[in-house]
Chain A
Amino acid sequence: MDRRTVLAGLAVSMVLAVFLSPFASPRPDGLERVAEDKGFLHRGEGEPALAAPVPDYAMPGVGREGLATAAAGALGTLLTFAAAAGVAAIAKRRP
C-alpha cells in the first residue's frame, strides 16, 4: 500500500466525518423506528452498561451542535484508523 493511497483514503474519510456528518439525517434509524413503532424503545433508554466519553457523536464541551459532531467525527476517524491498523499489525505478526 503506497503512502499516497493511504493519505488520500484518510483525507476522504476525514472530509466525510468532519464536513458532511453535521448534515446527516437526524431521523431515527431502522431499528429505532421499529422500536418506537412496536413500543419497546423505552427498554433501551435506561442507564447504559458503560458510560462512553463522547456519547451520541457530540464532543462534550463543544457548544455548537455541528462543531461537536464534526469534532466527534474527526476523533472517531483517527481512532478507527489507528485501532484497525494496530489490530492488523498484531494479527500479522502473530504466528
Chain B
Amino acid sequence: MHIPDGFLAARVWGPLWIAGAGGLWWALGAAGRALKDRAVPLMGVMAAFIFAAQMLNFPVAGGTSGHLIGGALAAVLLGPACAVAVIAVVLIVQCLVFQDGGLTALGANVVNMAFIGAALAYFIYAAARGSSRERGRILTAAAVAAWCSVVLASAACALQLALSGTSPLRVVLPAMLAVHALIGVGEAVITCLVLSFVLAVRPDLIYEGGRG
C-alpha cells in the first residue's frame, strides 16, 4: 500500500507530511517513556522482522498480491507508541533506500500504515481483548485488529487519492476496500501465526499496558 510519488497532490501530501512528522514526534516521546524497562534491541528486531516480512508478497485473487504491514503485530508486542516508531522507521528506510513509497508520499504512508496500521490497530486490539489473558482471546483480538487495520488504512489511502483528484472516491474507495478486505485476511493469518509462536516460546514479550 506504499503510495509512490505522483499519486497525491501537494495540497494533500503537504499536510500529511506535517501530520506524520508531528505524530511521529509524539510517538517517539511516548516510546521513550514506555521504553524505560524494555530493552532497546527488541525495537530493532521488530523493525527487521517487519521489513523482511513486507518483502514476502503473497498472491491473492485476481492477479494481485499483498504483503504484511505488521502494524497490528508490532502493536500487540510493543504497544502503540513503540509500534508507530518501528513502522515509521521501516517506511523511511524503504522510501530512502529502496524507493518503495515516494518521498512526497512518506507522510501519507506513515499516517496510513503507522498511525492507522499500528496505533489504531492497538486500540481495536485492546478493546477486543479487554483484560483477558486467555490465548484464544488475545489471538482473536489481534486477528480482528490486523484485518481492520489493513482495511481502514486502504480507506484512508483511497480518501487521499480522491482528495488529490487522482480518482473519484466512488471509484477508488470500493476498489481499495475490496482488494484489501482480501489482503487483510493474509495480515490476520500471518499476525496470528507469529503471535502463536511468540505466545508459545516467550509469552512475556506481549505488551501489557502499564508494564511499559
Q: Which residues of A contact B (CB under 8 A)?
A: 1, 5-6, 9-10, 12-14, 16-17, 20-21, 24-31, 33-35, 37-40, 43-57, 69, 72-73, 75-85, 87-89, 91-94
Contacts and interface: CB of A to CB of B under 8 A. Distances in A.
Contacts of A52: 95-99
A54 to B, nearest CB: 5
A80 B48 contact: yes
24 contacts: A1-B40, A9-B42, A13-B51, A17-B52, A24-B67, A25-B59, A26-B57, A27-B57, A27-B59, A29-B67, A33-B179, A40-B167, A43-B7, A48-B103, A57-B98, A73-B52, A75-B97, A79-B51, A83-B93, A84-B48, A85-B44, A91-B35, A92-B32, A94-B29
A1 B98 contact: no
B149 interface: no
B155 to A, nearest CB: 12
Query: A interface, by DSSP: helix, strand, loop or mixed?
Result: helix
A87 B85 contact: yes
Which one of A1, A26, A31, A92 has the greatest number of beta carbons of chain B within 10 Å? Answer: A31
Contacts of A31: 1-3, 154, 157, 176
Contacts of B100: 56-57
Contacts of A85: 40-41, 43-44, 47
Contact of A14 (B31, B52, B85): B52
Contacts of A16: 49, 52-53, 55-56
B35 A88 contact: yes
A1 B52 contact: no
Interface in B1-58: 1-7, 28-29, 31-32, 35-36, 38-53, 55-58
